[in-house]
Amino acid sequence: MIKSLIYNNGAAVLSQVGRFGNVLNLGVKRPIIMVGTGRCGTTLVDKILKSHSGIAKYPGEANELWHPKLEPHNKAQINSPPIEVDPKKYTELSIANWPNNQDNVIQRTFTGFHLVSGKSKVFFVKSAMISFMIPKILSIFPDARFLHVYRFGPSVVESYFKKNFGKDERYSFTEEEYYRICARYWNSCILEIERVKNELALEVNDAFYEFSYESLCENPSGILAELADFMSVDYNQFEFDLSTIKSTNYKVSNKSGNEKIREIVDAELSVAMKLKNYLT
């Protein structure tokens, strides 16, 4: 019913609900916001979290709220390179062109959804397009907590390439160029999240929790127990069948027949791969 409300009548309806909620001091508190590059297992984590009766998961990724002049990209109102080409510039350009009071629109929309879903639940939203927006998000939700799921770099690059290569008709990258772009994107997102986490002491203040896709696949119950503790929910209320969790990293070929592309990808990923202990 909630998803129908959003997609059939627009998030504006929730914003109106949220407006009244704020008057009553019922604004969303301590939201959990998932960041990352996408193609990292976030959809799997999303499904797991949605199975919990105490978690209110916002439908979709709310990118039309985070990037109102750029998403969906086929209806973009301003020009920008794709986010994977330059995520920092994309984010800065998006925020610089936010409509007046967009901060309030986001806050009210999430509050409205939270009220409709059940105020006692933990509010959760994920997006693969806000890794360079954490300080801005904190200006809207000062008590926000962040969840970061990351994955073996070459796996992300291969998956991102397969999903997005050639889809943006405005650009004509060669395969080699786009592999390099995808690799740089993963590397830069990992480094940006790490930078902000440290500079703002998010982890120290219990406002940041991260884990790898590989650790989730290897020890789903252990990771989920830690995640439940971070989100302050009952572990036993997760209804997702953990036995179905299997790593798909084996699917990565990384153009194994093309030595040049493999070398390019490995070089572009090296800094973040070392940071996340995938390389020694």
* Tens digit of each residue's pLDDT (9 = 90 or more) over 35-57: 999 899 999 999 999 999 999 99
d(Cα 235, Cα 215) in Å, to the nearest integer? Answer: 18
End-to-end CA distance of the chain: 49
What pTM was estimated for this model as a whole? 0.92
Residue 193 falls inside a structural domain: yes
Q: According to the model, what pLDDT value does residue 182 have?
A: 95
280 part of a folded domain: no
Q: Which residue has the higher pLDDT, 151 or 265?
A: 151
Question: By C-alpha distance, which of 102, 88, 269 is closest to 192?
Answer: 88
- Domain assignment of residue 156, yes or no: yes
272 in Cβ contact with 187 (< 8 Å):
yes
Q: Is 74's pLDDT higher than 50?
A: yes
Question: Between β-strands 145-150 and 55-57, what pairing exists: parallel, antiparallel or unpaired?
Answer: unpaired
At position 186, the amino acid (one-letter code) is W
Residue 117 lies in a domain: yes
Q: Is residue 128 part of a domain?
A: yes
Phi and psi, residue 274, nearest 5° = -70, -40
CATH number at residue 63: 3.40.50.300
240 falls within a domain: yes
CB 34 within 8 A of CB 127: yes
9: containing domain: 2-275
Q: Is residue 70 part of a domain?
A: yes
Q: How many domains does the chain have?
A: 1
Domain membership flag for residue 108: yes
Residue 149's DSSP bridge partners are 211
